[in-house]
Amino acid sequence: MTFDDVLLQPAESEVIPSRVNTVTQVSRNVSVSIPLMSSPMDTVTEARMAIAMARQGGLGVLHRNLSIDDQALQVDLVKRSEAGMVTNPITCSPDDTLRDVDALCGRYRISGAPVTDANGTLVGIVTNRDMRFVTNAATPVHEIMTRMPLITAPVGVSKDAALALLRQHKVEKLPIVDEAGKLRGLITVKDFTKSEQYPDATKDPAGRLRVAAAVGVGEDAYKRARALVDAAVDVLIVDTAHGHQRAVLEMVARLKKDTAVDVIGGNVATYAGRRPWSTPAPTASRWASDRARSAPRGWSRAWACRRSPP
């Protein structure tokens, strides 16, 4: 559309943009800086869209037209894309090949990985700088990696101290190790850059981008939900075409009982919060439409829904 197609006519106001606060509560424990969520459709939201939405201050809802493992991987990709500290970093072993590391970097969109032995002890790091001029994809990592000692930080390092180390030594990755030399985390300069670039990003208490995911109903959907929770999803959405039915409410009740994440139920045309059966209410509902049923003739259902309480 262009300005010739749509005209937004403003009314009288004394409000200036710098004083506007668009923070919106999505559910009991999750809020967004801008009131926008992307749809759980396979042509709309996967990891890249969810990352973009969260960085801008909204929330992406991953679609469920994927295998359980693939949808859980999408959650993991979002949670790893930006974090204050990656507590379970992607690693490789000294015996992995350049081909293995290249596939790992492509899968998780990273520029390198710490190298650990079978006991989890940090023995080196391999980055794009190490791999750039190696032509043999079968070359083992231990031949090209940067070996210990590396620039590292102890467990519990502050954000300011970590940033100072990155700047002082002009490195992009800062491994976090314990007293035994085992890798416990990873801080990257990219995370500081992204935090400055996207100050209104939707993040969890650990500094990771938030992400929601859709599930259906039934036993397979419950297994999917458990896998998504294990992958650290922030919100589960029971996503069905017909939200006002027993199976939806039973799934909402089961997820609320067995998980600690927020649960959203219903859809644009129904309101699961009415609970015709005796079940716990969802943490949030998708657009209550009780008012739409009684809207005066000629009023749009969308307009009536908009006037409904959250």
Which pLDDT tens digit goes with each residue over 276-308? 444 556 666 654 333 333 444 444 344 334 444
Looking at domain 86-190, its CATH architecture is Roll (3.10)
Residue 101 · residue 141 · CB < 8 Å? yes
Global model pTM greater than 0.75: no
State in Å, rounded, how far the first CA of the chain is from the last one: 30
- CA 54 – CA 65 distance, rounded (Å): 21
- Strand ranges (E), the chain: 24-25, 31-32, 37-38, 59-62, 112-116, 122-127, 146-147, 153-154, 173-177, 183-188, 212-215, 235-238, 262-265, 284-285
Residue 172 · residue 127 · CB < 8 Å? yes
CATH fit for domain 23-82+204-273, picks 1.10.1740.10, 3.30.1490.20, 1.10.1040.10, 3.20.20.70 = 3.20.20.70
Q: What is the pLDDT of residues 258-277, one digit of tens each?
A: 999 999 986 655 544 454 44
Q: What is the pLDDT of residues 184-231, one digit of tens each?
A: 888 888 878 888 889 899 999 888 899 999 999 989 999 999 999 999
- CA 133 – CA 202 distance, rounded (Å): 38
Domain boundaries of the chain, sorted by first residue: 23-82+204-273, 86-190
- Which residue would you say has higher pLDDT here, 177 or 268? 177
- CA 10 – CA 296 distance, rounded (Å): 26
Residue 27: strand, helix, or coil: coil
Domains 23-82+204-273 and 86-190 belong to one CATH topology: no
